[in-house]
Homo-oligomer: A and B are copies of this chain.
Amino acid sequence: MAKLSDVAARAGVSVSAVSRVLSGDPSARLSEATRERVRKAAGEVGYHPNFAGRALKLARTDVIALIVPDVTNSLFADLTRGVEDEAVARGCVMLLARSEDMQPGGSMFDRLVGEGRVDGIVLQPRDGTDPEELAQSVGVRAPIVTIHQRIPGASSVVVPDARAARLATEHLIALGHRRIGFAGGLAGSPTAQRRAAGYAEALEAAGIAHDPALVTWRGYREPDGRASTAELLALPQRPTAIVAANVNAAVGVLAQARAQGLAVPQELSVVAVHDAWTAAHTWPPLTCVRMPLYELGRTAVSALANVIDGGPVEHRSVEDPGPVLVERESTAAPRG
């Protein structure tokens, strides 16, 4: 692989001259003729700056890591694109890692951060992790921004969870539903709490009494949605509609409804927070509230860049675009 000295030899100049030309150093005083010769020589030998040499000198890798609980969750498609687009726009490459082996304090975390392989981290903590404990083990060892959740001492970015859940709930109310269940996330999860709050707001605004029995706290996975639904449908006065706090859980809601012989949307309406590839291919296709996850990714990287550059800890919320309702076929007016 061609190096600076190869280019220098070919162009008949010194290594430092080449370095300055190629990095576009504005303070460099070099004649246009020389610059041209250098660029030509670099092209001819196919020069690419050596990553290790540069990283060693600059103490910067231009790599940022995106760590999510499960890389293959279709919900992360948009997020991933957003992170990558913004990273590329800033001249960085994105390293995607699974958070299973990425528990802070774990050996993988050490390899990334401790060995200086990445400049910073965008971290989506696994649902149900304790923020204090997380902050402890992450320490100040690397610039980090969390998404969906705050941990002490680190920047964070969130999406308008409350607004989204409120939108979903209002959609059901507009259809005429009065008894609406909420299949929520884990009680400890901040996103779950914000979404539950949005649900409550919508009910209150419509003058509907808030019945705690209609709210479950199971989690975001498919079996959680199933369990929540079983619980809600066992109520003496069963709901005519369910807001699922997550699209994966919503798949479980549909499954449980089918298992109990309830037709969706005729006998039970279902609306989910989040949209994903899968949502359009369930039966019936799920009405969803699309969240600005692409922008979440871009914003997170932008916040991370600030921290890397020594900026202060900050907390952002992605407000534009806001959540938007995507109507499919899982919601309808209640019967009778």
Interface residues of A (CB under 8 A from B): 1, 46, 48-53, 55-56, 59, 61, 63, 70-74, 76-77, 80-81, 84, 88, 93-98, 101, 108, 110-112, 114-117, 222, 251, 254-255, 258, 277-278, 281-283
Task: Identify which of B93, B108, B222 contacts A112 (C-beta below 8 A).
Answer: B93
Name the 3 nearest CB pairs between A and B, nearest first.
A48-B114, A52-B55, A52-B56
Whether the pair B114, A98 counts as a contact (CB closer than 8 A) is: no
Which of B51, B72, B281 is A222 in contact with, Cβ under 8 Å?
A: B281
Nearest CB on B from A64, distance (A):
12
**A71-B80 CB under 8 A given contacts A52-B116, A56-B56, A283-B258:** yes
Q: Which residues of chain B are near A222, meaning CB under 8 Å?
A: 281
| Nearest-neighbor residue (CB-CB) of A141 within chain B | B1
Cα of A277 to Cα of B88 in the assembled complex, Å:
31
Task: Kindly state the separation between the CA atoms of A50 and B98 in the bound complex, as whole angstroms.
Answer: 23
A96 touches B96 (CB 8 A): yes
A95 with B98: in contact, given A52-B56, A116-B1, A283-B258 (CB under 8 Å)? Answer: no
CB distance from A265 to the nearest CB of B (A): 15
Please, which residue of chain B has its CB at the minimum distance from the CB of A280? B222
A120 CA / B161 CA spacing, docked (Å): 41
* Cβ distance A268 to chain B, nearest Cβ, rounded Å: 15
For A95, list chain B residues within 8 Å (CB): 95-96
Residues of chain B with a CB closer than 8 A to A76's CB: 72
* A268 vs B48: C-alpha distance when bound (angstroms): 57
Q: How far is the CB of A110 from chain B (nearest CB, A)?
A: 6
Q: How far is the CA of A95 from the CA of B96 in the complex (A)?
A: 6
Contacts of A254 in B (CB 8 A): 283
Q: CB within 8 A of A283: which of B112, B277, B283? A: B283
A53 to B61, CA, bound (A): 12
Determine which of B1, B53, B277, B281 lies in contact with A255 in the assembled complex, contact meaning CB atoms within 8 Å: B281
Contact A93 B72 (CB under 8 A): no
Q: Which residues of B contact A88 (CB under 8 A)?
A: 101, 108
Q: A50-B115, A52-B55 are in contact. Are A80 and B98 (CB under 8 A)?
A: yes
Nearest residue, chain B, Cβ from A285: B255
Q: Are B115 and A49 in contact (CB under 8 A)?
A: yes
Instruction: Give A61 to B93 CA distance when docked, in angstroms.
Output: 15
Q: Are A50 and B108 in contact (CB under 8 A)?
A: no
Q: Which of A93, A94, A108 has the most CB of B within 10 A?
A: A93
Residues of B within 8 A of A111 (CB): 93
Provide the bound-state CA to CA distance between A81 and B72, in Å. 10
Give the residue name and chain of the B residue nearest to A59 (CB).
B52
Once the chains bind, are B115 and A51 in contact (CB under 8 Å)? yes
Inter-chain CA distance A12–B70, complex, in Å, is 45
- CB pair A72 B61 closer than 8 Å: no
Which residues does chain B contribute within 8 Å of A48, judged by CB atoms? Answer: 110, 114-116
**Do A108 and B96 touch across chains, with their CB atoms under 8 A apart?**
no
Tell me which residues across on chain B come within 8 A of A277, comparing CB atoms.
72
* Cα distance, A151 to B336, chains bound together (Å): 63
CB closest chain-B residue, reference A118: B51
